């Protein structure tokens, strides 16, 4: 068996290090392009608006549900008291305390 006279390098060449000038220049270009690009700004603003509307609606829902329940209860009381001819000041009030 004869041995090869030259050694063959089968390893892949290593990529340049992160601190090389070529990579730093590419990174600067990317950052400057991202800072100038405002296309995604609208999407972010809409997302923030959606979050604010969602939080406001969650905060208002319990009060709204209580008010609707009171309206339905008052309506049921009026219909229940209709044959009795209850004077207007003596009608039943809502049993729920909406705050």
Q: Report which of residues 70 and 88 the model is more confident about.
A: 70
Choice between 46 and 84, residue whose per-residue pLDDT is larger: 46
pTM of the model: 0.46
For 21-83, list the strands marked E by DSSP. none
The pLDDT, as a whole number, for residue 53 is 96
Q: What band does 15 get if pLDDT is binned at 50, 70 and 90? A: low
The span from the CA of 12 to the CA of 41, in Å, is 41
Kindly tell me if the per-residue pLDDT of 75 is higher than 80: yes
- Break the chain into its structural domains and give their ranges: 23-83
Using CA of residue 16, residue 20, residue 25, residue 31, what is the dihedral sign? Answer: positive
Place of tokens 């601190």: 19
Q: What is the pLDDT of residues 27-41, one digit of tens each?
A: 888 888 877 877 777
Please give the Cα distance from 58 to 95 (Å, whole number).
24
């Amino acid at each position: 068996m004869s041995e090869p006279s030259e050694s063959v390098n089968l390893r892949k060449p290593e990529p340049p290090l992160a601190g090389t000038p070529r990579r730093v220049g590419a990174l600067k270009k990317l950052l400057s392009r991202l800072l100038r690009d405002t296309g995604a700004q609208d999407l972010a603003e809409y997302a923030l608006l959606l979050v604010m509307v969602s939080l406001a609606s969650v905060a208002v829902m319990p009060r709204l549900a209580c008010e609707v329940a009171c309206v339905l209860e008052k309506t049921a009381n009026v219909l229940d008291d209709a044959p009795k001819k209850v004077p207007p000041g003596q009608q039943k009030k809502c049993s729920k305390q909406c705050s």
